[in-house]
Structure formats: structure tokens, C-alpha cells
Chains A and B, each alone.
Chain A
Amino acid sequence: MTTTEKLKKILVEELNLEELTPADIDDDAPLFGEGLGLDSLDAVELVVLIQKHFGLEIKDMDEGRTAFQSVRALSAYIDGRLNG
């Protein structure tokens, strides 16, 4: 499973997006506001989920802001840190 696929599965299952399947999520759609419609509490939850599933801590707010743009951006951020 690619990081993108794993991320989409985590988003649907752990953020309880019951009306969506992983396949419904557009790689480039914004995670927050319009797009997936996540909010600030989801951002905190997402930081926890990335630590839990990928072992990565996101401590830098600017880094997080860039990574949380979309599934593609977050996937690239995770792969970059895991392989960097």
C-alpha cells in the first residue's frame, strides 16, 4: 500500500468520514475548509495519527501548514521524512 493509499484509509476510518470511501478522496483536494472539510480539531487529531501510524512528530507549525495542504502534499512530506 502506498503512503497516499494508507493516508486516505486513515482519514476515512480514524476521522470517521462515514459518507466517503478512500477512493472518493481527490489527491489534490484541500484537507481543510472546502475540499474534505476538516477543521482545527482534525488538525490536532491528524498530528496524533501521523505519529501513531508513521512514527513522525510534526512539531514545526510552518512545516505542518505546508504538509496539510492536501493528501498529495502530506504524502510527499511523510515519504520525504521517512526516506530523508
Chain B
Amino acid sequence: MIGRDSRIVIGGVGVAGGFGCGVAALEQALRGGEVRPGRMTLPMPDGPVEIPAFMSDTTPLKDFIPLRTLRRVDHFSRLALLGAHLALADAGLPEAERAGLGVVIASGHGATGITFAFQDSFINDGDICASPTHFANSVHNSAAANISILLGATGPSLTVTQFHLSVPSALLAARQWLLEGRVERVLFGAVDELSRLTGHYWHRQHAHFAGIPSPLHTGAETAVPGEGAAFLLLSRAQDADAPGYCTLDSVTVGRKLPPRPLAPPVGLLVLGADGVPETAARYAAAAAGSRIACYTPLYGSMPPGPAFDIASTALALRSGSVFATPGGSSCDFPATVVPGGTPLGPGPAGILTLDDDDGHALVMLGRIRQPA
């Protein structure tokens, strides 16, 4: 049964990516406007190859979970656990209230590192030598399972994979769980890793752009791959313990571009454009005439990108003003890049995600009105 108050509140944010770890690091990156990509080394038959990449360090996870407990947890699930812990800590949710927590995970690729290590073990040593630990980490719901077990979250858990649209598709489920009253809170997170496999794919399929990504200039590929986790603690407004960052007003996922101008009108449209040529023209067409921002140059190109976009927009809505788009306020299509520091009006902010086919998603976030 869906209640009268259908507003969902984002009460906590936990992020880890190439910019660092935690909300403060993301906010610092948003205010600084630049994060330099690191390097990823890939073993190749003719010697190692380096590609530019936004890599994420999971070392801070040891502040939440003992190393011994983590020894069977792969990099993918460590990223997810770090994002999950940071979101709960940010929301200040006591351990005693985690029991009924629902867990919804979005991932475009899943645990590719451990899955292919498991398959390699079959090929190299025979199926009798396949590692049971690798197998446990390779299953589809592994990150959600690790989070549920290690955080003591005994509510339902779900993993949704729809490549570029994984985040909005998973958000639909999370929102529905809350509206139906199935759970009081959902720990929603998006995660993907840059494994040797995905790094190798990027090396073969994409340009090795070594600078700062410039996704609002559509003429050349400027994408840099990224990895990381972005988690949100969601609850119904009526159950929220604190005002939170913003409201999650609606999520739409479809196969046609949304009509322009967007209804309801958005004060800010945050684009998931990431410098990949396949989607650049579609973003330009969809955003024409809008007041836009784009923060992907701070965390790179990856399927969880929209969750980082949501986290960045949530920070802007809480602060009341727009963060500058990294790389300046110019773009090569007819849209207005909103300058940093511009006050956000009362209207909602939209996060637009397009895939490389004809799919799109629009997530609408609203400002929380402070009591007079």
C-alpha cells in the first residue's frame, strides 16, 4: 500500500572513487574542480601497458572492519562495503537500527576481477582446483550478500544490472520498497571495479586519453575509466530521523528521450556525459536549451557514474548552490553551463543518464525546505 507522503529522503551519502573517500573528499573535489587521473598497469604479452584511470583505494575500510574479516572479500565487494559503511556513518544510523535495512546494489559489470580469476583457475589448473572462495565472490549478489552479512542488515537484498542504466533501474526498486512499506530504510549503492579484464577491454576499445575529461566537448573522445562505489541511505520522509540532503522525487527509465522542456521544469540538469563518443551527441540533443552541469571528470567513466552524479547533486541541493562543472563553463552544444556558486532555485534538479542505444533515465531530486 503506497502512503500519501511519497517523498523519499537521502539521509546519508557514502562515496569512494578516484577523488578519495567520503563525502568531504567528494565535496573538496567538487569545489576544487579538478581530479588528476592515476595510472593502471595491465600485464600484456609484450610487457606491461599503462592506461589513465581513476582508481579507488579501499584501505580506509579497515577503520570499519578488521582485516582478518575482510580476507575473503574481493576488491569489488570491498568497494561496496566501504561505500555502505560511509553512508551509514554519514547518516548516523545506529548499529541497532540496521536489522531491517534493505540493500539494493546497482552494478554494470559485477565482480569481474574475481569471476575471471575463478574461470582462469579452471583453465590453468583444472576444475578440481577451482577456489571455493573465488566462487562465493563471483556470484551475482556477492556485494549485497557481503554487506548484509557484515553489517547485520537482515532486510531483503537485490542486485540490479542494466549496464549504463543500472543505477536508475535499481533506484526504481529501492523507491518502490520504501513506498510499499516493505522496509523502512534502503541502503542503495552502485559499484564497479576496474579489474584486469575491464582495464584490458578499455585498452583495446578506447583512446588512451591522459588529460582531464571534457565531456561537454563532443568532438573527441576524452573519457577516462573509473571505479568506485556511491551509496545512499534512503528512507520515507515521514520516517527520516534527520532532514537529510534532499528528496528523491521521481525516477523514470525509458526507451525514448524525455520531452523538452522537461516537466516538471528543472533548475539544473546534471548530465552523465563522460566523454565517450557513442553517447556524446545524444546528451547534446537531450540537454539542448537546459541549464546544465556535469561532474564525471571528477570520477571517470563507469556504470555507477549516475550514483556519483546523484551524490554530487545532493551535496549541491543541501548547500543551496551549484558546483562548477570541471573544465569551465563552455560546451559545444546549445545549453547553458551553470557557473559555480549560482543559487539553486526552488525547482527540482534532474540527473540525466543515457545509454549507447536509445535508453534514458531521469532522476529528479528536490530541495528540503528548512523549517521557518
Contact = CB atoms under 8 A, between A and B. Distances in A.
A15 B73 CA distance: 11
Contact of A52 (B70, B72, B129): B129
Interface residues of B, number: 12
Contact of A45 (B68, B70, B132): B132
B71 A16 contact: yes
Contact of A48 (B68, B71, B72, B131): B131
B133 A41 contact: yes
A37 B133 CA distance: 17
B5 interface: no
Chain B CB within 10 Å, residue with most, of A15, A16, A45: A16
Contacts of B67: 18-19
A57 B129 CA distance: 10
A45 B132 CA distance: 6
Main SS at interface, chain B: helix
Contact count band on A: 10 to 19
A41 B125 contact: no
Interface string A1-32: 00000000000000111110000000000000
A51 interface: yes
Interface string A40-57: 010011001001100001
18 contacts: A15-B71, A16-B71, A17-B68, A17-B71, A19-B67, A19-B68, A37-B68, A44-B132, A45-B131, A45-B132, A45-B133, A48-B128, A48-B129, A48-B130, A48-B132, A51-B129, A52-B125, A52-B129
